[in-house]
Every structure is written in structure tokens, then in C-alpha cells.
Amino acid sequence: MKTAAVAVLGLLGALCLCSRTEATTAWDVLRNSAANFTGILPCGGWNCDCEFRNPKGCCCVASQLSQLEEATFMRMVGLWTNLTGLTGQIDEIIDGRNIAFTATLTPTPGCFGPFTRNVSIPYQNITLNQGYGYNGALGAFTAPRPGVYSFSYTVYSNMGPARERIYYKTQLVKDGQVIASSWEDNREDSEDSSTQSVLLPLRQGNQVYVELVSGRYLCADTQNYNTFSGYLVYPLLEM
């Protein structure tokens, strides 16, 4: 019964003009009773200036709805800001991901080397150079962006006649630091090859190349067996 009475009073209150004039009819009595009701109203309190003087679009919970709308809007702004930042990070990671190269030593029936100092091997026959990080004239790869890279190289030499000394040593170098090496020194094999593969974290601008150690040589590679290749495994935002 109390709930029903409150509902009735709420309805009447919404229709009243909050007038405190002397009641002259039954309707005036009900209206004034609703306006002067001191109990708990359904919405937790009304603003008669709002409900009764400007009823169009006005509600007893207008203030709460306004606060909820403002809070929802601010949350949407925050979510949009976070989404925009995440999109930027994804674009930064994906952009420039296609970095790869492969090249071979120019075929020659003679020998490359020996030299009196370590010499970078110029793999000038380039078959792939995505991202343009590899320079065939220098035989060096320069990292276009920071990331983890995979590199591999194959060394081949053929001395021809039996009992000729096969004598080579090559090494993978990162900015002057030797990372890996391959060598052969014997008279039992007139033809031999070896392969090295490594993973390297690089900063933008780091250089990686393969060099022939002084006094050594590579001979009779007419089939592009001496190769050097690399690619970006995954980028890093910073190092």
C-alpha cells in the first residue's frame, strides 16, 4: 500500500505546479498534498523548478543522467586515446617489416684472395634486397631499423687437382666484432664448404658483413655456392 501511495503521489507531483495556494477543489487538495509530501519520493527527490516549470525533456533524475552521460563520454574519450596509441604502436612495428636480402659471390674460375689484410667479401650478385639494407659494392648489410635479424652464409672452395691445399677462413662480423667463423686447412679435401647461421639483435645503423681472413682464399666457385643472406625476424621499438 505504501508503494502504491508513493507512486500516486509521484504522478500527481509531476502534474502539479508546486502551488501552495488555498485548495478550493478536490484536485487542488491532491495537488497540494503531492507538493507538500515529506516522505521518500521514487527518484530520491525532485526539483520543482525543473519538473513543473519546464517539464519538456525534464526529469527528476536529470542531474544523475547528466553525470552518467559525462562519465560515459569521458570513458569513451579515454578508450579512443588508448586505441589510437595502440594503433600507432602496431603501425610502427608492422611498418618496414619486410627486410631481407640474399646475394652470391660473382662466379669465377680463379681464386678470390689471398690478401694481406682481412677483406669484406663483395657478394655482388644480388637476387633479393627488400628494404635496401644490403650494399653489394661493400658486401655489407646496414640495419634499416632496430630488431632481431637472422644471418647465414655459405663458404665454398675448390682447389681442383688432388693434394692441393684447401685453405680458407671467413668470419661474420658485426661492426668490427667477430660473431662466427668458418675455416678449412688440409690437403685431403680438394673441395669443401661450410655454413653458419646466427641471430643478432641490431640497432639501426649496425653493419654486418662476411670477411675473408688475410692470407686465405676461395677458389673455383662457378655455381654461386658462396652466399650471404639475412632477414628481419621481428622489429624492436628501441634498444
Return d(Cα 10, Cα 226) in angstroms, integer: 92
Domain end marker among 39, 64, 92: 92
> What are 158-195's pLDDT values in tens digits?
987 766 788 899 999 999 999 999 988 877 777 889 99
Q: What does the H/E/C string look like for 95-140?
A: CCCCCEEEEECCCEEEEECCCCCCEECCCCEEEEEECCCEECCCCE
Amino acid at 18: C
CB 104 within 8 A of CB 224: yes
Question: What is the domain count for the chain?
Answer: 2
Q: How far apart are CA 112 and CA 43, in angstroms?
A: 92
Same domain, 132 and 222: yes
The pLDDT assigned to 214 comes to: 94
Closest C-alpha to 213, from 184, 190, 186, 193: 184
pLDDT of residue 62: 59
* Whole-prediction pTM: 0.61
For residues 84 and 142, membership in a common domain is answered with: no
Calpha distance 180→151 (Å, rounded): 11
141 and 78 inside one domain = no
According to the model, what pLDDT value does residue 185 have?
A: 83
Helix (H, G, I), strand (E, B), or coil: what is residue 69?
helix
pLDDT at 29 over 70: no
Residue ending a domain, choose from 41, 64, 92 = 92
Range of the domain at 62: 2-92
Would the pLDDT of 16 be above 50? no
198 contacts 220 by C-beta, under 8 angstroms: no
Give the other-Cβ count within 10 Å of 15's Cβ: 13
Q: Are residues 109 and 159 in the same domain?
A: yes
Considering just the CA atoms, what is the radius of gyration of the chain in Å? Answer: 41
Q: Are residues 209 and 108 both part of a single domain?
A: yes
Same domain, 114 and 206: yes
Shared-domain flag, residues 75 and 138: no
Provide the pLDDT for residue 9.
43
56: pLDDT strictly greater than 60: no
Q: Return the pLDDT at 2.
A: 44
Helices 2-15 and 26-35, packing angle to 10 deg: 100
Average pLDDT in the 219-236 region?
93
Is pLDDT above 50 for 3? no
pLDDT at residue 36 greater than cutoff 80: no
Looking at the fold, whether 119 and 36 belong to one and the same domain comes out as no
pLDDT per residue over 104-156, tens digit each?
999 888 899 899 999 999 999 999 999 999 999 999 999 999 999 999 999 99
> Is 129 in the same domain as 224?
yes
Q: Please check whether residues 44 and 82 belong to one and the same domain.
A: yes
